[in-house]
Structure 1
Amino acid sequence: MSTAPLQQKNRRIAILFAVVALGMLGLGYAAVPLYQMFCSVTGFGGTTQRATQGDADLASRFARSAGGTDISVRFDANVERGMPWDFAPVQVKDTVTIGQRDMAIFTARNNSDRPITGTATFNVEPEQTGAYFNKVQCFCFTEQTLQPGQQVRMPVLYYIDPAILDDENAKDVEQITLSYTFHEAEDPTS
């Protein structure tokens, strides 16, 4: 066998491996956004759903016609280590009717001498209920900037989707915990 066909074969294999390596690198960079998209669509890992006012109205009509089943919702609030904010729910626990809109209020106070912009991450426990916990309005949808010493009240308008009653893994859940953690937002200028 001459060396020309062997070199051509080696070159094809090298190009194939380079394409595979670049593809794997691309998937590595795309993994985080793809995972976040997957979680937001499916509720995986306790990720809550984002709902419209129309979705909430439809769930509310269903809840009234179904007679109403109540569930307990517990609210948890944290700040990352070193962030000089106080952050807490006004009411730690509430009993809500599945399908009915409800509102939770959180307070945040900037204890520093400088403006701080924070962003909230959130999850729901138990995990299997994340697909049914729908937020219509939430402070977690945008960054929050608090001036030195400023205290604000931040509402969350939400409902529990009545479909939770048909899910074998979630229908017997008696309490859902909605947990937030505020992180200082990255400074885009640095």
Structure 2
Amino acid sequence: MSLSPHQKTAGWLVGVVVVMGAASFAAVPFYDWFCRVTGFGGTTAVASEAPAEVLDRTIRVRFDASREAGMPWEFRPLQREMEVRIGETGLAFYEAYNPTDRTVAGTASYNVTPDAAGGYFAKIACFCFTEQVLAPGERVEMPVSFYVDPAIVKDRDGRYVRQITLSYTFHQTELPEEQAALAARPAGIDVN
């Protein structure tokens, strides 16, 4: 049994739609993986510890903070910049303050510029790895522990990097269930 030209065309079109649907479904995780592996777009690496090798060469790290529109917190770096040796662990702090009369949750997205440094800037510990919840009037200092991988000096573009900017943007998120339940409970009612 032979297919008519219209049936062949319809079959090809269905195949194209299926392939395009699968590609679009896989695009987000693939892009995320690609950025983490290559440092593309300033995506940083995550590490469990600093490298054993520390170079004599230093690099200046600048710290930047911003908030998504509608995020009520105040958010800022406690230091504007620091000089670290390549391979050395650096420790910086950011401060967040919730000036509202309600509990607010947030998460931080981040990137590094220039893009050539993204794959060589590694965070060991960071407030951005978890959701942050601040009570009304609460002020917290949040650390980020990082290093610049010594391999940057061997990279074709990375070896020219003398300054890196680490930028965070805080986004408001839904309160975790237990926090939302506490916030919804009328004042003066004790559940214990």
Q: Which residue of 1 aligns with 2:20?
A: 24
1:133 paired with 2:121, answer yes
> Distance between the aligned counterparts of 2:110 and 2:175, measured in 1?
21
> Distance between the aligned counterparts of 2:27 and 2:2, measured in 1?
39
Structure 1 residue 19, shift from structure 2 partner? 2.2
Q: Is the 8 A contact 2:116 2:157 kept in 1?
A: yes
Aligned residues: 177
Runs (5+) with no aligned partner, structure 2: 178-192
Structure 1 residue 81, shift from structure 2 partner? 1.4
Percent identity among equivalent residues?
A: 48
Structure 1 residue 11, shift from structure 2 partner? 2.9
> Distance between the aligned counterparts of 1:130 and 1:5, measured in 2?
55
> Distance between the aligned counterparts of 2:80 and 2:161, measured in 1?
18
Q: Which residue of 1 aligns with 2:34?
A: 38
1:151 paired with 2:128, answer no
Q: Aligned AA for 2:2?
A: P
Q: Which residue of 1 aligns with 2:46?
A: 50
> Distance between the aligned counterparts of 1:47 and 1:147, measured in 2?
30
Structure 1 residue 138, shift from structure 2 partner? 0.5
Name the CA shift for 1:5/1:112 in 2 (closer, same or farther; >3 Å).
Answer: same
Q: Aligned AA for 1:136?
A: I
> Distance between the aligned counterparts of 1:176 and 1:116, measured in 2?
30
> Distance between the aligned counterparts of 2:77 and 2:83, measured in 1?
15
Q: Is the 8 A contact 2:104 2:175 kept in 1?
A: no
Residue 71 of structure 2 aligns to a residue in which SS? coil
Q: Which residue of 2 aligns with 1:184?
A: 172
Which of the numbers 96, 117, 121 marks the counterpart of 1:108?
Answer: 96
Q: Which piece of structure 1 moves more, 87-96 or 178-187?
A: 178-187
> Distance between the aligned counterparts of 2:7 and 2:176, measured in 1?
44
Q: Aligned AA for 1:37?
A: W
Query: Which is helix-richer, 1 or 2?
Result: 1
With the length of structure 1 as denominator, give the TM-score of the two structures. 0.87
Q: Which residue of 2 aligns with 1:92?
A: 80
